[in-house]
A and B are shown apart, each in its own frame.
Chain A
Amino acid sequence: MKAAVIVFPASNCDRDAKTALTEMTGKSPAMIWHQDSELPDVDLVVIPGGFSYGDYLRCGAMASQSPVMRAVKAHADMGGAVLGICNGFQVLTESHLLPGALMRNAGLKFVCKPVTLRVEETQSAFTSGYDNGQSVMFPVAHGEGNYYADDATLDRLEGEGRVVFRYTANPNGSARDIAGILSEKRNVLGMMPHPERVVDGATGGTDGRKLFQSLIETLS
């Protein structure tokens, strides 16, 4: 599997994503600067966590207008896989590649801790290696992870099996405990928790390995 990681000014999980991808795939991903308007030939694009453009205006709003996002949209339109983690999820909603929006945490505080998620959907390239209903522990680190969409959109996401991860103890007020969702074509996943931070047992866990393993098996 060939992967690329998008790098915005003030991305700060780009190197975590690179380390995780290198560990899992055996090769270093392409690191793509936000001003590049073309992507190399890759199977997976990762939009990493961080504070792209200083979170100016709204989290992910400025990043969604960057030249590289036009290329990411084209990649997604062609059916290419896109994984947006944390700020990457915010960028994906601001870019309308995923529905809804991520608002300020209901408790108004930045939440930084390991959380337990339930894998709700294994019919995706990202989660085929997990068991349905399985509990996994991923860390979260965000101030704006409170997922919002209107009821009709939420019903549709649930009805179409597009809610992939749910919090077992909601840390941020997210509608229906949603932690991660798929696009209509199921090739774009946005999630607030960080699977790339749980790839090496030395740094807190290995529950994220299966997400990358699933992608490798599906996309290679």
Chain B
Amino acid sequence: MKARVFVTLKNDVLDPQGKAIGHALNGLGFGQVDEVRQGKLIELEIAGSDADKAKVAIKEMCEKLLANTVIEKYEIELKP
């Protein structure tokens, strides 16, 4: 089973990299870009086929290591 974990800064945490990307896009003529937030994508290959069990384990991985929940939030996407 494949899983993708998206880790991004929480909404109320300033994202200077996202801001810089936004400025660069505006500079390239993409004036329609208002705000950019950037983050990480972590792909996991998980043994077993129990999606619920995998999700519980990945949530624990996020809390313990993959995300720093002081500043970051995460989303988990499972692909059977």
What residues make up the interface of A, taking CB atoms closer than 8 Å to B?
57-58, 61, 65, 93-94, 99-101, 103-108, 148-149, 173
Contact = CB atoms under 8 A, between A and B. Distances in A.
Contact of A103 (B20, B65, B66, B71): B71
A149 to B, nearest CB: 7
16 contacts: A57-B66, A58-B68, A61-B65, A65-B65, A93-B70, A94-B68, A100-B70, A101-B68, A106-B16, A107-B16, A108-B16, A108-B17, A108-B20, A148-B13, A148-B71, A149-B70
A103 to B, nearest CB: 6
A61 B68 contact: yes
A145 to B, nearest CB: 13
B16 A173 contact: yes
Given A100-B70, A148-B71, A57 B16 contact: no
Contacts of A106: 14, 16
A101 B20 contact: no
Contacts of B14: 106, 173
A5 B16 CA distance: 33
A148 B70 contact: yes
B41 to A, nearest CB: 13
7 closest Cβ pairs, A-B complex: A101-B70, A101-B71, A106-B16, A108-B16, A101-B68, A148-B71, A58-B68
Given A99-B70, A108-B20, 12 more contacts: A58-B68, A61-B65, A93-B70, A100-B70, A101-B70, A101-B71, A103-B9, A103-B71, A104-B17, A105-B16, A106-B14, A148-B71
A166 to B, nearest CB: 19
Interface string B60-80: 000001101011000000000
Contacts of B9: 103
B78 to A, nearest CB: 21
B65 A57 contact: yes
A61 B14 CA distance: 20
B16 A104 contact: yes
B63 to A, nearest CB: 12
Contacts of B66: 57
A61 B13 CA distance: 19
A58, A99, A108, A149 — most chain B CB neighbours (10 Å): A58
Contacts of A94: 68
A60 to B, nearest CB: 9
A50 to B, nearest CB: 19
A201 B25 CA distance: 47
Nearest to B12: A150
